[in-house]
Homo-oligomer: A and B are copies of this chain.
């Protein structure tokens, strides 16, 4: 296995060994892992920021194809880490090996998708309005605009995706693709995994001739390092996946405690309501119960798209469905959770929710917190009680779900209307169901970033049409997605050039359209050059 040095990555160097150390804890082994990781010193953090700031003008001015080469090299280097990477991530995250190799592949493909977006080139949204020198009463200047990167981005690795939402995950890939240097805060749960991937990025940056500072990865205590990054003038945007508390703390800092507020893309908290409509339940209740039980317990429920809320009409069919779901969930063995904190918080949240007025506990399984294992939970409450008690909307991060029994259509609509913003909402219904419940469906749609028909919310495709985002508090910025090609749009702003001499125009805005990208020319989409 590749030797871990336990040091931060600062540009093209590694940080020094420091007195203060962190250790990753393995929930599989039930003990800390032996490798010590030095906490980045203030000087090292500043050095990473200085390097990022210096790298920005060079990196952002590179042709998209050069940045594509960089992303592809990262992808290759990660793939080349092979089993060492998967083994270390397994020890650090408790996640099973097949899941991890799948997630690794997804991460590699995600980097390649952004490389493809760069090679295609149209993502800069080039818009050209040509001059109208003879227009009355006033001539029109030549106006051309495109998206340009914001500057260095701080990315916070997530606990639950050691690859896909961490060191070389979606935020890093999108920010680098856009032309923004990245300073990555490693997640304290998987410091070794981070070191391996950070090394792969560093090696790719050197090999493809990127400016030093385009990427650094820092070890440190979450809140302290996070605040230091979020407050720093060089940081121009933040990408984060994690708890509501940590996300909002970054959001508050970025909005209030800086001379210049910056955008924060924090994906925080979602309970992903699933509406099960009567006709489809009658036809497929048992199959849906099995599918839903699989989704609730997938990855021990540690997905941001975990279905935490199930809305049903109160009738006999629903009762049968609940019985089937309970049985399916009971059959799933408890499994190792990501880290100590998450496991403890899971049992605590489950207990808290179970004690709320009107909540009925449908599955009573022993607490396996001492073994860091999560067992499935199912709770139930009437819509009226749900609406009255907003704390029932707090995410239970783990394999738990809450059934909401609705007396009738209007109770279901009221429950939906009371919902906070969500990443996803799912609808199970026949054509007849969907017609009958159209108002409820519209309500659900207004609360979510992704509306899923007749399927579970887990499984987030990395593609062009994905929206992995949603109204607050699912994210701090419902106008964005953190997964898919358009995640790149989070780290840019438009700049308009007026009467810019042809020799100074960036390639995307040149008359001859050398990149052959789709542009808006005098209001029409085309790849053609402006008429002379």
The answer on a CB contact under 8 Å between B494 and A481 is yes
CB under 8 Å from chain B, chain A span 423-459 = 431, 434, 442, 445-446, 448-455, 459
The answer on a CB contact under 8 Å between B495 and A467 is yes
The answer on a CB contact under 8 Å between B496 and A467 is yes
Distance between Cα atoms of A140 and B255 in the complex (Å): 38
Chain B residues positioned under 8 Å from A57 (CB to CB)? 442, 446
| A70 beta carbon closer than 8 Å to chain B | no
Distance between Cα atoms of A467 and B144 in the complex (Å): 9
| A479 beta carbon closer than 8 Å to chain B | yes
The answer on a CB contact under 8 Å between B145 and A445 is no
CB under 8 Å from chain B, chain A span 114-154 = 116, 120, 122, 127-129, 137-138, 140-141, 143-145, 150
Contact among B420, B495, B525 with A525 in the assembled complex (CB-CB below 8 Å): B525
Known: A260-B471, A504-B434. A144 touches B525 (CB 8 A): no
The answer on a CB contact under 8 Å between B451 and A496 is yes
Chain B residues positioned under 8 Å from A476 (CB to CB)? 261
The interface bits of chain A over 18-49 (1 if a CB of B lies within 8 angstroms of the residue's CB, else 0) are: 00000000000000000000000000000000
| A461 beta carbon closer than 8 Å to chain B | yes
Most buried by B among A140, A420, A466: A466
| A469 beta carbon closer than 8 Å to chain B | yes
Distance between Cα atoms of A499 and B461 in the complex (Å): 13
Q: Which of A155-163, A312-320, A369-377, A485-493 contacts B (4 or more CB under 8 A)?
A: A485-493
Distance between Cα atoms of A480 and B493 in the complex (Å): 7
Known: A461-B141, A500-B451. A494 touches B523 (CB 8 A): no
Chain B residues positioned under 8 Å from A143 (CB to CB)? 461, 463, 465-466
Chain B min CB distance to A317 (Å): 22
Distance between Cα atoms of A364 and B451 in the complex (Å): 65
The answer on a CB contact under 8 Å between B465 and A127 is yes
| A398 beta carbon closer than 8 Å to chain B | no
**Interface magnitude class on chain A:** 35 or more
Known: A486-B494, A495-B445, A496-B465. A453 touches B145 (CB 8 A): no
| A242 beta carbon closer than 8 Å to chain B | no
The answer on a CB contact under 8 Å between B495 and A449 is yes
Chain B residues positioned under 8 Å from A472 (CB to CB)? 260-261
Contact among B449, B495, B500, B504 with A496 in the assembled complex (CB-CB below 8 Å): B449
Chain B residues positioned under 8 Å from A501 (CB to CB)? 431, 434, 453
Distance between Cα atoms of A230 and B500 in the complex (Å): 39
Distance between Cα atoms of A127 and B465 in the complex (Å): 5
The answer on a CB contact under 8 Å between B466 and A493 is no
Chain B residues positioned under 8 Å from A467 (CB to CB)? 145, 494-496
The interface bits of chain A over 388-410 (1 if a CB of B lies within 8 angstroms of the residue's CB, else 0) are: 00000000000000000000000
| A256 beta carbon closer than 8 Å to chain B | yes
Distance between Cα atoms of A172 and B518 in the complex (Å): 29
| A520 beta carbon closer than 8 Å to chain B | yes
Chain B min CB distance to A329 (Å): 23
Chain B residues positioned under 8 Å from A308 (CB to CB)? none
Known: A251-B261, A434-B504. A455 touches B498 (CB 8 A): yes
CB-defined A-B contacts under 8 Å, sample of 15: A128-B465, A141-B452, A144-B465, A251-B255, A260-B472, A263-B477, A263-B479, A449-B495, A452-B498, A453-B499, A453-B501, A455-B499, A464-B520, A464-B522, A478-B493
* 9 extra interface residue pairs, beta carbon distance < 8 Å, beyond A256-B256, A434-B504, A453-B504: A140-B461, A255-B261, A260-B421, A260-B471, A452-B498, A453-B500, A454-B499, A467-B494, A518-B518
Question: Which 5 pairs between the two chains have the least Cβ-Cβ distance?
Answer: A467-B496, A143-B465, A450-B496, A452-B498, A129-B465
